[in-house]
Amino acid sequence: MAETQRRSALYALEPLIKRWPTVRKPEGHVSFKTKLLWTTVCLLLYFMLSNIPLFGVSQNQLDIFANFRAILAGQSGTLMHLGIGPIVTGSIVMQLFTGAKIIKLDLTKEEDKSIYQGAQKIMVLLFIFIEAIPQVYGFLNPDERLVSQVGSFNARSVVVAQLALGAIVVFLMDELISKWGIGSGISLFIAAGVSQNLFQGSLSFQHAGTGLAFDPVSNPPVGTIPMVFYVFLNRDVSSLVHSGGFEQMFIGGNAFPNPIIAFLGTVMIFLFVVYAEATRIELPLAHGKVRGARGRYPLRLIYASNIPVILMGALLANVNIFSLLLWQHPTFSQIPVIGHSWWVGTYETGSGSTSPVAGGAWYLTAFRGLNDWFLPLFDPRYAASVHGHVWWQILIKVSLFLGLFVGGSIMFAKFWVETTNMGPHDVAKQIGKSGMQIPGFRQDPRILQKVLERYIPTLTVIGGATVGALAAFADMIGTVGQASGTGLLLCVGIFMRMYEQIAKEQAMEMHPMLRGFFGAE
């Protein structure tokens, strides 16, 4: 017991971790058809749960996750209300504690890694209730009829139970996909939600003002492409030039939520991400025993994938959420010093908006297009978009947001590589087990590890900085469908990785010897 305590206090949770509900790992190889089946089933179940409304919730509610739906893969007022928020938040906390040596675990050891993963599951469950309870007691109010029938406490408990159930199902589906499916469940759910937003923002014929007739000035179609055709067919050139028609179409406004500049920015970011994802360093390999058997091990520019952006986006989302709770929640707003304090974050009371208008939270909030920073610097007509902040405050926000997003993405990229068997030591061991070696070097994992140490740490930093800068830049330009720059970046990267993962699974299905090389056995 003394040895256990000396290694890590988390070993005290080992009895609970061993009894914790989990998805069983496959004992042997899982066929490609089986993986595809489970992935499809989970995706369909996700869409079903996203369309099941919460029982007993009032129509008058405030969605504190409204600005982060693309990252959290949730749908407001449904069983997927929390989305993947508790999962990524629990992961963030565990990575920060491990990186800061608060939790003393050596993740290169299988036993310590098992304890780490088990403790992370418990952390996820805690954050499910940490995120659910404050909402139900401040923003996601139960219906008055339900309260009159069962009482206030029981009514709120019913809503909390539904939120917890949806979040637990998402967590189990993510684990099911990671073990029996293709790719990551978190990534798949994010891509599904963002794709839906992008499709609606680009091609939707629905008009912005519900219950009103189409109007080329005040109520055009929501989708960018239908909006352009509709406005050009129904307005003359003179009105477009002299009445601000072109300005609204390109820059946007209340009646033009998906302007042309946002559509062009979406396409540009899409192409750039495709290029960045395809950029890689290929390490030449040869089989130590089979003469003529050669191959290449690709080391991507975006080595840590898009996970750092997910974690960074979720971290900023939690900052905004808790600052909103401190500003107007009946209980949290009474906390001394930080409760209802302008420097933490100021919000417009009664407006239904979840975006801060001043304070620290405003400086950490993602941009939503050029209206939020660029145009107010040069045109006083757009001053309302920045809530009265002057030019130097806008520049501070731009610098702080870019620096924090890029720096945070680099930090999370390092943590992710260290905790997911992507470091030089684990990759060298994986290549060594397959019988491959670098031509001209002895077949020794230590030598291979030294070669990989020249590339992987550098690629981790460059890749983390790249995805962070791309996500922040996309937010600053704007995207269609309110997908956010982070959501767009994630969606493109996820689909590219999914395509390559499917190709790899098919290759292993046709050539079983490749399973050892890819670490599938």
Q: Which residue has the higher pLDDT, 504 or 377?
A: 377
* Helix or strand holding residue 52 (H, E): none
Q: Name the β-bridge partners of 236.
A: none
Return d(Cα 476, Cα 372) in angstroms, integer.
8
Binned at pLDDT 50, 70 and 90, residue 168 comes out as very high
Return d(Cα 187, Cα 344) in angstroms, integer.
31
Binned at pLDDT 50, 70 and 90, residue 385 comes out as confident
Q: Pairing state of beta strands 436-437 and 280-287?
A: antiparallel
Mean pLDDT calculated for residue range 424-439: 78
Exposed, middle or buried, 419 (CB in 10 Å: 0-12/13-18/19+)? buried
Tokens of 395: 């520049």
* Helix or strand holding residue 276 (H, E): helix 260-278
Interacting residues of 48 by C-beta distance below 8 A, sequence separation 6+: none
What is the pLDDT at residue 45?
Answer: 93
Among 7-21, 400-414, 445-459, name the most confident range: 400-414
Return d(Cα 342, Cα 96) in angstroms, integer.
28
Mind listing the pLDDT tens digit for each residue in 301-355?
888 877 788 788 878 877 888 888 888 877 888 898 899 898 999 988 766 678 8
Mind listing the pLDDT tens digit for each residue in 190-202?
888 888 889 888 9
CA-nearest of 135, 121, 51 to 318 is: 135
Give the amino acid at 467. Answer: V
What is the pLDDT at residue 241?
Answer: 74
Q: What domains are defined for the chain?
A: 1-22+29-181 (1.10.3370.10), 281-521 (no CATH)
CA-nearest of 483, 492, 280, 311 to 410 is: 311
Among 151-160, 225-234, 352-361, 500-509, name the most confident range: 151-160
Q: Which residue has the higher pLDDT, 237 or 130?
A: 130
Q: Which residue has the higher pLDDT, 212 or 294?
A: 294
What is the pLDDT at residue 4?
Answer: 40
What is the pLDDT at residue 513?
Answer: 56
Mean pLDDT calculated for residue range 75-89: 88
CA 259, 261, 263: angle at the middle one, nearest 5? 75
**What is the residue whose two structure tokens read 């939120």?**
163
Exposed, middle or buried, 360 (CB in 10 Å: 0-12/13-18/19+)? middle
Return d(Cα 4, Cα 18) in angstroms, integer.
16
Mean pLDDT calculated for residue range 281-302: 74
Whole-Å CA distances, 194 to 68, 140, 253, 267 = 11, 24, 22, 14
Among 48-57, 381-390, 422-431, name the most confident range: 48-57
Mind listing the pLDDT tens digit for each residue in 106-126?
776 778 878 888 888 889 999
Rounded to two decimals, what is the model's pTM? 0.75
Residue 41 above 90 pLDDT?
yes
**What is the residue whose two structure tokens read 């209340």?**
254
Residue 89 above 80 pLDDT?
yes
Q: Which residue has the higher pLDDT, 313 or 287?
A: 313
Averaged pLDDT score across all residues of the chain: 82
CA-nearest of 224, 295, 298, 217 to 258 is: 224
What is the pLDDT at residue 2?
Answer: 43
For residues 426 and 270, the answer to whether their CB atoms sit within 8 Å is: no
Question: Cβ–Cβ contacts within 10 Å for residue 498, how many?
Answer: 17
CA 439, 445, 450: angle at the middle one, nearest 5? 80
Residue 395 above 90 pLDDT?
yes
Q: Phi, psi at residue 114, to the nearest 5°?
A: -65, -40
CA-nearest of 54, 57, 61 to 354 is: 61
Q: Name the β-bridge partners of 287.
A: 436
What interhelical angle do 32-49 and 152-180 show, nearest 10? 160
Question: Cβ–Cβ contacts within 10 Å for residue 224, how many?
Answer: 25
Mean pLDDT calculated for residue range 229-247: 77
Whole-Å CA distances, 91 to 193, 332, 420, 498 = 21, 25, 12, 22
